[in-house]
Amino acid sequence: MTFTMADYSTNEWIILFLVLILGILIGLLLHPGSARYRREAEEERAARIEAERANAARIEAANTRIAELERYAPPIGAGTAAAVGAAASGARDDLSLIRGVGRERETRLNELGIHRYRDITALSAEEEAALEGRMGLEPGTIAREEWRDQAALLGKIEGRG
């Protein structure tokens, strides 16, 4: 049997309407702390705003530090071109074979004019300290990682000492 809207009497419609209204009222009365949810949402929003402010402060401090470091960093240009030219002509050794150097530091060494193992073995203590400073290394890194000893050994192995 199928019911249509015309099959309901006026009393039945009134009862359905009252049940609907009663359900809405009970739902509003028993809703678990809508004020609590609003308060929590405001607290979360305030925490997010504070975190964004803290992040902005950290980013500003980082940008200031980057600008400060860039003032003291030599420009990339002619040194890089010379390093690439030396690599292409075979006028350099593979400094990345020295433990602790790697490709990035090798490129930086090449930019600073150090292309051969003998360039590293010939460093004086003052030149070593200056090189560490120019490369942004911790003082004593070259000695601790024994770059000079490794360069001398690699130079002997490759006959370029």
DSSP string, 64-122: HHHHHHHHHSPPSSHHHHHHHHHHHHT-S--GGGSTTTHHHHHHHHHHTT--SHHHHHT
- At 90, the pLDDT band (50, 70, 90 cuts) reads low
Hey, what are 58's tokens?
């950290």
Among 33-37, 56-60, 88-92, the range scoring the smallest mean pLDDT is 88-92
Distance CA 36, CA 33 (A): 5
Q: What is the pLDDT averaged over residues 99-117? A: 88
Residue 148 makes CB contacts below 8 A (sequence gap 6+) with 120, 121, 123, 128, 142
Report if residue 53 sits inside a domain. Answer: yes
pLDDT of 113 reads: 86
Number of domains in the chain: 2
Q: Are both 88 and 152 inside the same structural domain?
A: yes
- Comparing 83 with 34, the larger pLDDT belongs to 34
> Do residues 149 and 99 lie in contact, with contact meaning Cβ atoms separated by under 8 Å?
no
pLDDT digits (tens, 9 = 90+) for 51-89: 999 999 899 988 888 888 877 766 555 555 555 555 555
- Of the chain, the percentage scoring pLDDT greater than 70 comes to 81
Distance CA 108, CA 82 (A): 12
Q: Are both 94 and 131 inside the same structural domain?
A: yes
Last residue of a domain, one of 73, 102, 137: 73
- At 38, the pLDDT band (50, 70, 90 cuts) reads confident
Q: Are both 89 and 123 inside the same structural domain?
A: yes
Q: What is the pLDDT averaged over residues 27-42? A: 76
Hey, what are 159's tokens?
């006959």
- Three-state SS sequence of 12-37: HHHHHHHHHHHHHHHHHHHCCCHHHH
* pTM of the entire predicted model: 0.44
Q: Are both 150 and 104 inside the same structural domain?
A: yes
Between vectors from CA 47 to CA 43 and to CA 48, what angle results, nearest 5°? 115
Q: Are both 66 and 83 inside the same structural domain?
A: no
Given a cut of 70, is residue 32 above it in pLDDT?
A: no
Q: Domain limits at 143?
A: 78-157
